Amino acid sequence: MKIPWRRYWELLAVHIMPQRGRFITLSVLLLTGIGLQVVNPQIMRYFVNAATSGGEAQSRVPSALARLPLGSSGVPSALALSALALIGLAVLQQAISVGASYVGESPPSGASPGRPPTPCAPRWHGTA
């Protein structure tokens, strides 16, 4: 028996509609977490390159970031900027991971142990 994809989509939509806000929030958190997992190694690579090259990576720092007063000379090094970015993204990635776990594992509002979580839960007919 061949079931069209549209039927699957309609079934999924029926179950997701009551939890639309949670679904969107979880989707955004998961996609943001994946994006940070892609960006984080790039910053790590930049940090390693800046650490091994000495001060040569300074010219690749954007001018807006180079104006931050972090160093004793008033201009932060590329190594300091990449280290701060790496630490900041790691903390942000962890916070997003915790948020995604919370949204994904917390029960939906209005759910109780004796009540089905969706309006389309199967109903058993007959006696037990």
29 burial via Cβ count (<10 Å: 0-12, 13-18, 19+): buried
Flag whether pLDDT at 23 surpasses 60: yes
In a domain, residue 109? The reply is: no
When divided into structural domains, the chain yields a total of 1
What is the rounded distance in angstroms from the CA atom of residue 63 to the CA atom of residue 55?
Answer: 16
118 occurs within a structural domain: no
Q: Is residue 32 part of a domain?
A: yes
Tens-place pLDDT, residues 44-75: 888 888 788 765 545 555 555 555 545 555 55
Q: What sections of the chain are H helices per DSSP? A: 5-16, 20-53, 63-66, 78-105
Is pTM beyond 0.75 here?
Answer: no
Residue 39 lies in a domain: yes
Q: pLDDT value at position 68? A: 53
Angle at 13 between CA 26 and CA 17, to 5 degrees: 60
Confidence (pLDDT) at 87: 93
> Which residue range forms the structural domain that includes residue 31?
21-103
Q: How far apart are CA 82 and CA 53, in angstroms?
A: 13
